[in-house]
Amino acid sequence: MKSMTGFGRGEVVTGGWRFAIELAAVNRKQGEIVLTLPREWQAHEAALRQYIGERVARGRVVATVKIECLRGVQEQVKVDLDLARAYVAALRQVAEATGAGLNVDAADVLRAPGVFTVEESVPQGPEVGPALEQALSRAMEAFERTRLAEGAALGRDLEARLAELHEVLAKIIVQAPKVTVHQRASLTRRLEEAGLPLPWPDERLLREIALFAERSDISEELTRLASHLDQCALTLRGSEPAGRPLDFLCQELHREFNTIGSKANDAGLAHLVVAGKGAVEKLREQVQNIE
């Protein structure tokens, strides 16, 4: 089991350059990859995205690519000559239109916005692709270690939540058969208090008790609850991403508890249903952290 959150960094040094990639992930129901590359490296983006996407099922992963020249800062000085000529031409038009004198030197033109720029260069040789892939592979190894470590802790907590739900289910199984008995005693008592005692077994009384037992029968819901809990345990022990399946099972568990609560006209069962729904909610909150 893996957590959706994690961090990993990997780097490669080649050709006088250090290529580094950092991976950081946070919770998100769907998968999302945020990757920003220099314009010169856009051809490598699809391969890097595919590599990450094949290993991360859900969560928001931000991949930060960094490069450092180990031979000192490599900068390129660029001059936009077309823009410089346009500035000079515009100044001449202003001078001609106003009759003002024109005294423009190169320094004036270079100070104009956009004419003079300094850009840090990036390598563009055949070594770029393999270096990026190797740096990403190393970052992913560290990234997966953190996710597995946190996932193990989450797994232990989820096992405890499932144990709590098994306890609630066991108590409901014990309490459920008593509901009809309590209803029979309650109905008999109310008839006696109203001055309408009926001998036992009376056909009308038996029919009323049978109808109540049918309406309050929760055997199917208990069977499904047990099945859902078993499926949760199997999913936790599996090797596939467990977040989405467990999220669905939490919805089903909550639905079964709701049905039991609406069917069982009993205060003891009502308290157990509240406890079960609370345990399911705690389970669901932790599931939101799992891949």
Cβ atoms < 10 Å from Cβ of 120:
11
Specify the pLDDT at position 262: 81
Give the domain 6-72+124-147 fold: Sufe protein. Chain: A (3.90.1010)
Q: Are 7 and 146 in contact (CB under 8 A)?
A: yes
Average pLDDT of the chain?
A: 83
Q: Are 10 and 142 in contact (CB under 8 A)?
A: yes
Q: Are 92 and 102 in contact (CB under 8 A)?
A: yes
Alpha carbons 95 and 102: distance in angstroms, whole number: 6
Backbone angles phi, psi at 56, to 5 degrees: -125, 115
2 DSSP 8-state letter: -
For the chain, which residues make up each domain, given as ranges?
Answer: 6-72+124-147, 75-120, 153-287
Reply yes or no on whether the pLDDT at 277 is more than 80: yes
Tokens of 239: 């090797």
Alpha carbons 185 and 59: distance in angstroms, whole number: 55
Q: Are 52 and 291 in contact (CB under 8 A)?
A: no
Tokens of 65: 């690519």
pTM of the model: 0.68
Alpha carbons 224 and 244: distance in angstroms, whole number: 19
pLDDT in tens, 125-179: 788 999 999 999 999 999 999 999 999 999 999 999 999 999 999 999 888 777 6
Give the range among 23-32, 78-87, 105-114, 160-169 with minimum mean pLDDT.
105-114
Give the range among 83-97, 134-148, 150-164, 184-198 with minimum mean pLDDT.
184-198
Give the range among 115-124, 135-144, 251-260 with minimum mean pLDDT.
115-124
Give the range among 146-160, 173-187, 229-243 with minimum mean pLDDT.
173-187
Alpha carbon dihedral 31, 35, 41, 46, in 10-degree steps, equals 0
Tokens of 230: 């078993």
Specify the pLDDT at position 263: 79
